[in-house]
Copies of this chain bind each other. A is one copy, B any other.
């Protein structure tokens, strides 16, 4: 059984909790809430929280509350990202900022973020609160760094890892760790949960960045080539820059730094990536993180959730063909 099937009951309770929390006195907020439920993503972060608690036999209300909180934090960052990036698609359908405007999206993000802390308070776990508050700080720090490396194809690979470590992997790690915390896991189990989530997050983000250049049409619900259009500095670009000759570097500077892009430039970029087998190299790096994630689970005895977590880690790579 995969993780979502194993956690089906708990994930339904998370959905219920989401709806209850968004049934606010403000009609527009409820509408945005329903929209977000409708376009619901893979619920990976709440699944990590729930799975870590489940491994420790905790099926109480606390993991549900925390799982809802981490999904709210994640959704808040998506709402704000879409405003900042001026995106028009999210998970395949129109994004909230396009339907309701930037103001509503900024406010809805703030509301979800505030609600997430209200949910955490209910668990009475100061430790879980602390871990998730600090992860939230690191998310924005990662996004700041991302701004600073944007339009710089000659970025160091270590800076890229600081960015995705902050903006993606921290919340994956904290989501998993908080599940172990409320279930009274040992220090080692807490750390293992974080390590599983953190490394999964790194792999996940690398694959996400690869998908923007992968030619196969997937159900990613993003406009392909969006990263290229915005001149985002992701792993494929950084690795390609390292290999590129003078002419290719000039192309990257013109298209990604100066954003002077012509009609076929995205295709041209994809050709350079193919020439140096960049996407395969990215997948190899992602695979190394998947192995680290799986190894971290050694702190837990064999159980169905652990098996499903291993499967989840492995399947994260198959999102790109």
Query: Which A positions have Cβ atoms within 8 angstroms of B?
Result: 24-29, 76-77, 80, 83-84, 102-104, 106-111, 113-115, 117-118, 121, 124, 126, 129-130, 133-134, 136-137, 139-141, 143-145, 147-148
Closest to A104 in B: B147
Q: What residue of chain B has the Cβ atom nearest to residue A150's Cβ?
A: B103
A122 to chain B minimum Cβ distance, whole angstroms, is: 8
Known: A106-B106, A113-B110. A28 touches B148 (CB 8 A): yes
In the complex where A117-B117, A121-B126, A137-B114 touch, is A28 in contact with B147 (Cβ < 8 A)?
yes
B80–A110 CB distance below 8 A: yes
* Nearest-CB residue, chain B, relative to A28: B144
In the complex, the answer to whether B26 meets A144 with C-beta atoms within 8 Å is: yes
List 10 tightest A-B contacts by C-beta distance, closest first. Answer: A114-B136, A111-B140, A117-B133, A118-B133, A26-B144, A84-B103, A114-B137, A110-B140, A121-B130, A107-B140
A110 to B121 alpha-carbon distance, docked (Å): 19
A25 to chain B: which residues have CB within 8 Å? 141
Query: Per DSSP, are chain A's interface residues mostly helix, strand or loop, or mixed?
Result: helix
Residues of B within 8 A of A84 (CB): 102-103, 106-107
A109 to chain B: closest residue by CB: B110
23 contacts between A and B (CB under 8 A): A24-B141, A26-B141, A27-B148, A76-B110, A77-B110, A80-B106, A84-B102, A84-B103, A107-B140, A107-B144, A110-B139, A111-B141, A113-B114, A114-B139, A115-B137, A117-B129, A117-B136, A118-B133, A118-B134, A118-B137, A121-B129, A121-B133, A124-B126
- Count of this chain's copies in the oligomeric assembly: 2
Contacts of A137 in B (CB 8 A): 111, 114-115, 118
A136 to B117, CA, bound (A): 9
- A106 CB contacts on chain B under 8 angstroms: 80, 83-84, 106
Q: Given A84-B106, A106-B80, answer yes or no on A130-B118 (Cβ-Cβ < 8 Å).
A: yes
- Nearest to A73 among chain B residues (CB) is B114
Q: Which residue of B lies closest to A113 (CB)?
A: B113
Given A107-B84, A114-B133, A118-B133, the answer on whether A29 and B141 have CB atoms closer than 8 Å is yes
Picked from B29, B104, B126, B144, the residue with its CB within 8 Å of the CB of A104 is B144
Bound complex: CA A133 to CA B106 (Å): 17
